[in-house]
Amino acid sequence: MSDIATPIAAAPFIVGLGGAIRSGSSTEKALRHVLAAAERGGARTLLISGEGLRLPLYAPEDPDRCAAARTMIAELAKADGIVLGSPGYHGTLSGVIKNALDYAEDLRDDGRPYFSGRAVGCLATGGGWQGAVHTLGALRNIVHALRGWPTPMGAAINTSEGVFDADGVCLTPGVAATLDQIAVEVLGFARAWT
């Protein structure tokens, strides 16, 4: 694995999107871990999670957007790299995260449409392996649809194995290394592409 501790010259802007509406979810902790690793590598970061995900159901025919939706779309448009995280609900990503990603349709006519030109790291949690792995694959399919570049490394995290403590510290070295590597790949692509 690459050395995340080596600061990079530029300061790419990395946006994390995901978790759950309740704060402190394990998915949010995993996203925070990736963003912290990205910051150690020299990035500026922003996490959109918790109340930032409380969005009306996306309706493409309705041009009205709430403040949270406008913020999310504006930050994604500025992002040099993106990290997505979802819990596995009934075998795939949660409706909350899918709804947030539906808003990426508002980036269709952007200078960089959707997620194009950006590496997108994906992570998924689950109460078991099957849900986590399938959710990771579903996220990557969405990234392809949005013209992003899924990173080679993704994380499927089985939270029944007690991966994070109450403060969000990752207790499992293998998971921590995987999340660090996602940060390395998102950052590396951002620097190579821009």
Ligand X SMILES: Cc1cc2nc3c(=O)[nH]c(=O)nc-3n(C[C@H](O)[C@H](O)[C@H](O)COP(=O)(O)O)c2cc1C
Is position 131 an interface residue for ligand X (rule: CB under 6 A)?
yes
Measured from the Cβ of residue 190, the count of other Cβ atoms closer than 10 Å reads 24
Q: Which residue has the tokens 């501790």?
A: 5
**CA 98 to the chain's CA centroid:** 12
Q: Which of 14, 15, 17, 25 binds ligand X (CB under 6 A)?
A: 25
Nearer to ligand X, 170 or 187 (CB): 170
Nearer to ligand X, 85 or 150 (CB): 85
- The one-letter code for the residue type at 25 is S
Is position 95 an interface residue for ligand X (rule: CB under 6 A)?
no
Question: Which residues share a beta bridge with 123?
Answer: 85, 155
Distance CA 189, CA 148 (A): 11
Is position 120 an interface residue for ligand X (rule: CB under 6 A)?
no
Is position 49 an interface residue for ligand X (rule: CB under 6 A)?
no
Q: Which of 7, 56, 60, 91 binds ligand X (CB under 6 A)?
A: 91
Q: Which of 95, 127, 152, 174 binds ligand X (CB under 6 A)?
A: 127
Sign of the dihedral defined by the CA atoms of residues 181, 183, 189, 191, in that order: negative
User: Rule CB under 6 A: which residues touch ligand X?
Assistant: 20, 25-27, 87-91, 125-128, 130-132, 159
